[in-house]
């Protein structure tokens, strides 16, 4: 049994701001205050305006002190950037490359220079390839007023270029690409799924093995959190009827046509590494379908509003009347009910609010710490190594994997087949934005809803995705299906070929940490008598905030 941990607040002594510093800021125009002539203090809440202002100041100071309780973490990388001076292990998409797909050193140095100085002018001097812009590196330098600063949380180093873990993860990416059109419900009878499970089971260091140490077709491509291995692959929150106020969301989606793979020719691959902006778009199935395979999941996470899945989950939970958390101060109230605090608008706004905090945190990790290359770039390294156009320190587990010959027989190259014509977006791989937001938003929902609740009317999609049928297996809990939802969204990006397994798993943990610390500061602001939020982390540990 894992032990419970607790994030607590403490009372702090008032700290005086320097009046000279404040007045200097006002004179410089950094702060703007407007007080009407003759204005007087008015009664507000529990006291006069000045008293309220002092209390508001105290709450903000307490939030500062709360953050100071957390030591600043180390920010370790895997050292590939110093180990390989040609930068073969790091992200460089959008910069100019040679014929082997290795980045121009001066261009990479221009990126490093901008990241080192943080000067907006230097970001404008980064040497691009064919002009497609990089995505928002300066977001990693933005500050936050609630929750942890983006530099105050950390991730474990990404697997190294030559490691057994990296070899196993890229093998999973290739198998995901080959199995994109196989319905999740038919993995048990599918040859490709069986071969994938057998191959990943023999890997020296695959992080997705089940309790037996082996991967089966029942655990193939699943996450590792509680609930991920129970019931259908797809979370109920991606299938179930979803009310949206007076409207209703039809959960069938426009998905890509089957059999479409991109970036399977070397000239196309090299062009996209150089930042070519392809005019091609996904060819869509004219028939809308429920998510039933990896291609559908990859299509869903290409067009979603980034917190959309969790907002929908909230709507499903509210519709089904799932009890809110046991500590809700209004649960037993005779005279009041929650709204702006501990009510539906509170939950909805928290999902939106924590999203931007999660993105700032992961953008710092992407650009300023890890700069991990995308799976498509590693696929180019494999192709050039196997065809002897270059020699790289690739682990034997991937070179000996049958997935490479299977890929070559289908596409004629050893490149990783991509689900999107543009391939990966123009920012580094580790951590993953979708996965970090997934971890943050699911943590918010587990704080506000009863994780032990059972979801009503469980369903699963038919193999063609045209209908939903009743699900008759083990009971599906709110907590388990929320964990599964986070994994679905994170792994949907892996199915598309744009992220690695460790991107998904470690980024969900990063988002979880951001959300826990956001909630700890949120707790300081309530007037209600409130004992705190309790929830289960992805690793099974109970935590109280």
Q: Which residues are catalytic?
A: 427, 434
Are 262 and 417 in contact, with CB atoms under 8 Å apart?
yes
- Percentages (nearest 5) of helix, strand, coil residues in the chain: 45, 10, 50
Are 112 and 77 in contact, with CB atoms under 8 Å apart?
no
Q: How far apart are CA 139 and CA 258, in angstroms?
A: 36
Query: 319: which residues sit within 8 A by CB, 6+ positions away?
Result: 241, 242, 243
Query: 320: which residues sit within 8 A by CB, 6+ positions away?
Result: 455, 456
Are 263 and 272 in contact, with CB atoms under 8 Å apart?
yes
CA-nearest of 506, 421, 1, 494 to 207 is 506
CA-nearest of 172, 171, 138, 157 to 89 is 157
Are 290 and 465 in contact, with CB atoms under 8 Å apart?
yes
Burial of 195 (C-beta count, 10 Å sphere; 0-12/13-18/19+): middle
Joined tokens for residue 185: 């419900």
**Terminal C-alpha separation, the chain:** 20
Q: How far apart are CA 433 and CA 456, in angstroms?
A: 31
Q: In what order do the strands lie in the sheet with 534-536?
A: 5-6, 542-544, 534-536
DSSP 130-191: SSPPP--GGGGG---SSS--TTS---PPPPPTTSHHHHHHHHHHHHHHHTTTSBGGGGGG-H
Q: Check residue 281 and give left, alpha or beta (phi > 0: left; psi -120 to 50: alpha).
A: beta
Helix (H, G, I), strand (E, B) or coil at 232: coil
Q: Which residue has the tokens 């500061």?
A: 521
The residues with which 542 forms a beta bridge, in sequence order, are 536
Burial 9-33 (b: 16+ CB within 10 A, else e): beeeeeeeeeeeeeeeeeeeeeeee
The residues with which 543 forms a beta bridge, in sequence order, are 5, 535
């Amino acid at each position: 049994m894992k032990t419970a941990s607790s994030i607590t607040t403490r009372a702090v002594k008032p700290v005086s701001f320097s009046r000279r510093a404040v007045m200097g800021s006002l004179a410089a125009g950094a702060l703007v205050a407007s007080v009407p002539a003759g204005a007087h203090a008015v009664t507000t809440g529990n006291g006069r305006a000045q008293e309220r202002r002092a209390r508001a100041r105290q709450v903000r100071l307490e939030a500062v002190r709360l953050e100071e309780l957390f030591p600043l973490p180390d920010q370790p990388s895997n050292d590939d950037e110093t180990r390989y001076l040609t930068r073969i292990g790091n992200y460089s998409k959008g910069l100019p490359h040679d014929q082997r797909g290795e980045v121009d050193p001066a261009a990479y140095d221009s990126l490093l220079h901008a990241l080192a100085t943080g000067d907006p002018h230097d970001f404008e001097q980064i040497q691009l390839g064919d002009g497609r812009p990089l995505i928002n590196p300066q977001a990693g330098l933005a500050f936050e007023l609630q929750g942890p600063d983006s530099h105050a949380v950390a991730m474990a180093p990404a697997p190294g270029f030559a490691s057994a873990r990296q070899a196993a993860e890229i093998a999973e990416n290739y198998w995901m690409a080959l199995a994109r059109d196989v319905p999740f419900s038919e993995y048990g009878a599918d040859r490709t799924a069986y071969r994938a499970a057998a191959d990943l089971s023999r890997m020296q260091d695959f992080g997705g093995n089940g309790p037996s140490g082996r991967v089966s077709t029942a655990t193939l491509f699943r996450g590792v959190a509680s609930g991920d291995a129970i019931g259908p692959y797809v979370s109920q929150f991606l299938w179930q009827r979803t009310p949206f106020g007076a409207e209703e969301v039809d959960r069938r989606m426009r998905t890509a046509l089957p059999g479409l793979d991109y970036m399977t020719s070397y000239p196309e691959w090299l062009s996209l590494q150089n930042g070519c902006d392809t005019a091609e778009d996904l060819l869509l199935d004219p028939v809308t379908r429920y998510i039933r395979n990896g291609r559908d999941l990859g299509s869903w996470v290409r067009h979603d509003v980034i917190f959309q899945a969790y907002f929908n989950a909230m709507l499903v939970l509210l519709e089904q009347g799932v009890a809110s958390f046991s500590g809700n101060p209004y649960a037993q109230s005779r005279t009041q009910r929650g709204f702006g605090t501990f009510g539906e608008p509170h939950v909805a706004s928290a999902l939106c609010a924590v999203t931007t905090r999660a993105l700032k945190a992961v953008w710092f990790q992407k650009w300023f710490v890890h700069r991990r290359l995308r799976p498509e770039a590693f696929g180019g390294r494999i192709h050039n190594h196997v065809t002897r156009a270059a020699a790289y320190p690739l682990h034997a587990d991937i070179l000996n994997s049958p997935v490479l010959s299977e890929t070559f027989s289908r596409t004629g190259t050893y490149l990783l087949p991509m689900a999107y014509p543009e391939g990966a977006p123009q920012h580094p791989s580790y951590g993953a934005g979708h996965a970090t937001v997934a971890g943050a938003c699911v943590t918010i929902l587990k704080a506000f809803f009863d994780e032990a609740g059972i979801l009503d009317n469980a369903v699963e999609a038919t193999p063609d995705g045209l209908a939903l049928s009743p699900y008759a297996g083990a009971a599906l809990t709110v907590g388990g299906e929320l964990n599964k939802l986070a994994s679905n969204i994170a792994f949907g990006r892996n199915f598309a070929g744009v992220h690695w397994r460790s991107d998904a798993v470690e980024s969900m943990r990063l988002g979880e940490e951001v959300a826990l610390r956001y909630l700890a500061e949120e707790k300081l602001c309530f007037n209600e008598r409130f004992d705190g939020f309790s929830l289960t982390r992805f690793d099974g540990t109970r935590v109280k905030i």
